[in-house]
Amino acid sequence: MYLFKKRDSDATNSLLERFPAPGVLEDLNHQLVMLGFLFLSVGIITGAVWANSAWGRYWGWDPKETWSLITWFVYALALHARYVRGWAGRRIAWIAIIGFLSVIFTYYGVNFLLSGLHSYGRA
């Protein structure tokens, strides 16, 4: 939404007028990335603990595990770029979009395109 709202700076689109200012959208994006990064971190850690009790190893490089780690790195990059490099606006919005696509692929794509311990969608 940030990218669309920023592009429509003269407020010609009536639908985009309903959304908050680009600065508010950017702050909201940052807060949600931080929250999602926290939950993803907790999920990876608790999943590793559970895997150790179930399979005798913390990490097996299963496609679902690997793609969840890739997603974690994408969001870590977004937070790092914002805090250390001072990136904001379009750059962070694009990294967040890449992170969202990574989440979607981790959730759906891995089940249907790759095989492994977490491939429950296959017949």
Report the residue count for the chain.
123
User: Tokens in use for 63?
Assistant: 């496609």
Buried (b) or exposed (e) across 98-119, using 16+ Cβ within 10 A? ebeebbebbeeebbeebeeebe
Concatenated DSSP letters of 78-101: HHHIIIII---THHHHHHHHHHHH
For residue range 59-71, what is the model confidence (pLDDT) as tens digits?
Answer: 999 889 999 999 9
Residue 16: pLDDT over 90:
no
The pTM of the whole model exceeds 0.95:
no
Sign of CA dihedral 89, 94, 100, 106: negative
Task: Name the residue ranges covered by the structural domains of the chain.
Answer: 2-113
Residue 50: pLDDT over 90:
yes
